């Protein structure tokens, strides 16, 4: 491996996943250098190719999470399609799928079958509810999992209606855990020489990111509800309206509390017995809140941030997406990737947040057109002739 080669170079992933959770995991692996061969149904491909917004007829949604992959069309319902998949599995390290549990078995392509084809295969399945349990076979979308997994019950205004997280956090969290599972199985394979199955459920992952809500319930027996934009156990730690918009502050310890009181020119608050320690500030939250609301309404967000940043007080604006694309810190971190998609033009998207010093990953290739690499992969990886591929195309196998 040359020192600047990407860290997962040399690994091949057969990616049968569609829409979000699976493709997002495969995208991270592609950014890190793996050869991701995305297998798509020949007529329409990944259904998210049909999801808005569109740019020149191409789904920007699809494009932004399928960059750097190769697309191969393959009809897995055809006998020849199944054979070709098995040939690809022989030449691969990882297979990733996010079908409903049972679907791969019905295709005759489940782990039990494929591990005979390649015992070193890591077979990763990312599903809504997992490979076992009473709801295993149910369909799931992000919204359903956010609801069932408790995230909605703790998000939203205090006393208000349950609120969904604005992004598909249930899909994305499952994608991240699936990626961890794949890399862990890869490490285990270095020791044992054998692959294994990685089974990740979106619902399970939601439970894991409930964080202290479970601890709070277990200890107090009180059911956590939505708490607005406030930290559940640290005060003041929330958003405040300012003269022009909003400001968030996080006063996480006693030193910061003193510095904060001086910073906002209210040293009296630091000496006030009612607010002496975090536990006290929690108790007297309502009183403190109304005092601070008055304070913050007197200046603009930018003014407050300038004032507090020089004292090292954690604070920030509530940025909208347009602000993020031009943000100096985000640009300095090379977190906005811009990829040329040929006739569609350049498209900005989020970059890779894992910065490695010796063998960095990189976002550098566009998302594939449907079946763009069918011939390249069947010829290059499986050694077929162009004529054989053409014949498969005629028979609608690819």
Can you name the residues that pair with 96 across neighbouring β-strands?
15, 124
Q: Which is nearer to a copy of itself, 10 or 108 (by Cβ)?
A: 10
- Of 82-90, 219-227, 364-372, 376-384, which segment contacts a copy of itself by CB under 8 A? 219-227
| Site membership for a copy of itself, residue 220 (CB under 8 A) | yes
DSSP per-residue codes, 91-125: T-SEEEE-SPTTHHHHTT-SHHHHHHH-TT-EEEE
| Site membership for a copy of itself, residue 363 (CB under 8 A) | no
Given a contact cutoff of 8 angstroms between Cβ atoms, the answer to whether 335 and 329 are in contact is no
**Is position 171 annotated as part of the catalytic site?**
yes
Site for a copy of itself in 68-107 (CB under 8 A): none
- Token reading at 13: 């992933």
Q: What is the rounded distance in angstroms from the CA atom of residue 176 to the CA atom of residue 22?
A: 10
| Site membership for a copy of itself, residue 164 (CB under 8 A) | yes
Residue 108-127 contact track with a copy of itself, rule CB under 8 A, x = bound: ---x----------------
| Site membership for a copy of itself, residue 330 (CB under 8 A) | yes
| Site membership for a copy of itself, residue 234 (CB under 8 A) | yes
Beta carbon of residue 131, minimum distance to a copy of itself (angstroms, whole number): 8
- Of 69-77, 226-234, 365-373, 385-393, which segment contacts a copy of itself by CB under 8 A? 226-234
Q: What is the rounded distance in angstroms from the CA atom of residue 264 to the CA atom of residue 165?
A: 32
Q: Which is nearer to a copy of itself, 261 or 377 (by Cβ)?
A: 261
Site for a copy of itself in 293-312 (CB under 8 A): 309, 312
- Token reading at 379: 């010829």
3-state secondary structure of 136: coil
Residues 17, 71, 168, 374: which binds a copy of itself (CB under 8 A)? 168
Give the residue carrying structure tokens 């020489």: 193
Site for a copy of itself in 131-160 (CB under 8 A): 131-136, 138-157, 160
DSSP per-residue codes, 165-232: -SS-HHHHHHHHHHHHHHHHHHHHHHHHS---EEEEEHHHHHHHTTTHHHHHHHHH-PPP---TTS-S
Given a contact cutoff of 8 angstroms between Cβ atoms, the answer to whether 125 and 131 are in contact is yes
Given a contact cutoff of 8 angstroms between Cβ atoms, the answer to whether 109 and 85 are in contact is yes
Q: Which is nearer to a copy of itself, 181 or 377 (by Cβ)?
A: 181
Residues 37, 104, 172, 398: which binds a copy of itself (CB under 8 A)? 172
Q: Which is nearer to a copy of itself, 328 or 342 (by Cβ)?
A: 328
| Site membership for a copy of itself, residue 167 (CB under 8 A) | yes
Residues 197, 261, 339, 384: which binds a copy of itself (CB under 8 A)? 197
3-state secondary structure of 40: strand
| Site membership for a copy of itself, residue 54 (CB under 8 A) | yes
Residues 113, 243, 316, 365: which binds a copy of itself (CB under 8 A)? 316
Residues 47, 244, 293, 340: which binds a copy of itself (CB under 8 A)? 47
Q: What is the rounded distance in angstroms from the CA atom of residue 117 to the CA atom of residue 83?
A: 11
* Catalytic residue (one of 15, 93, 171, 204): 171
Q: Which residues contact 333 (CB under 8 A, 6 or more apart)?
A: 351, 355
Q: How many residues bind a copy of itself (CB under 8 A)?
A: 157
Residues 106, 215, 268, 293: which binds a copy of itself (CB under 8 A)? 215
Omega of the bond prior to 338 within 30 degrees of 0, cis?
no
3-state secondary structure of 260: helix
Residue 258-277 contact track with a copy of itself, rule CB under 8 A, x = bound: --------------------
Give me the active site residues, please. 171
């Amino acid at each position: 491996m040359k020192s600047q080669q990407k860290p997962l170079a040399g690994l091949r992933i057969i990616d049968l996943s569609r829409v979000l959770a699976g493709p997002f995991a495969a995208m991270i692996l592609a950014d890190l250098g793996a050869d991701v061969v995305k297998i798509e149904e020949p007529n329409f491909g990944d259904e998210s190719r049909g999801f808005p917004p569109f740019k020149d007829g191409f789904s920007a949604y699809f494009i932004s999470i399928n960059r750097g992959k190769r697309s191969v069309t393959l009809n897995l319902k055809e006998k020849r399609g199944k054979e070709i998949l098995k040939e690809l599995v022989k030449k691969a390290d990882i297979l990733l799928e996010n079908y409903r549990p049972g679907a791969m078995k019905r295709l005759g392509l489940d782990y039990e079958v494929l591990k005979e084809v390649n015992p070193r295969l890591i077979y990763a399945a990312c599903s809504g509810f997992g490979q076992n349990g009473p709801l295993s076979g149910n369909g799931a979308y992000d919204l359903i999992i956010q609801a069932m997994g408790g995230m909605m019950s703790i998000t939203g205004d205090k006393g208000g209606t349950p609120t969904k997280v604005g992004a598909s956090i249930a899909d994305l969290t499952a994608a991240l855990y699936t990626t961890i599972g794949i890399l862990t199985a890869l490490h285990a394979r270095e020791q044992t020489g054998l692959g294994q199955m990685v089974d990740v459920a979106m619902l399970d992952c939601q439970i894991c990111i409930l964080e202290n809500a479970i601890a709070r319930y277990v200890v107090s027996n009180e059911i956590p509800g939505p708490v607005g934009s406030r930290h559940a156990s640290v005060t003041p730690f929330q958003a405040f309206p300012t003269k022009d918009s909003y400001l968030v502050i996080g006063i996480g310890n006693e030193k910061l509390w003193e510095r904060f009181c001086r910073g906002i020119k209210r040293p009296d608050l630091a000496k006030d017995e009612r607010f002496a320690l975090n536990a006290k500030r929690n108790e007297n939250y309502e009183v403190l809140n109304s005092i601070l609301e008055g304070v913050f309404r007197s200046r603009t967000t930018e003014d407050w941030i300038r004032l507090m940043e020089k004292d090292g007080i954690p604070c920030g604006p509530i940025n909208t997406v347009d602000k993020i694309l031009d943000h100096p810190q985000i640009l300095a971190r090379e977190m906005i990737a811009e990829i040329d998609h040929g006739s569609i033009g350049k498209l900005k998207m989020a970059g890779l947040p894992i910065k490695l010093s010796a063998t960095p990953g990189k976002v550098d290739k566009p998302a594939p057109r449907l079946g763009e690499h069918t011939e390249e992969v069947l010829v290059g990886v499986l050694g077929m002739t162009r004529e054989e591929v053409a014949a498969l195309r005629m028979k609608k196998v690819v």
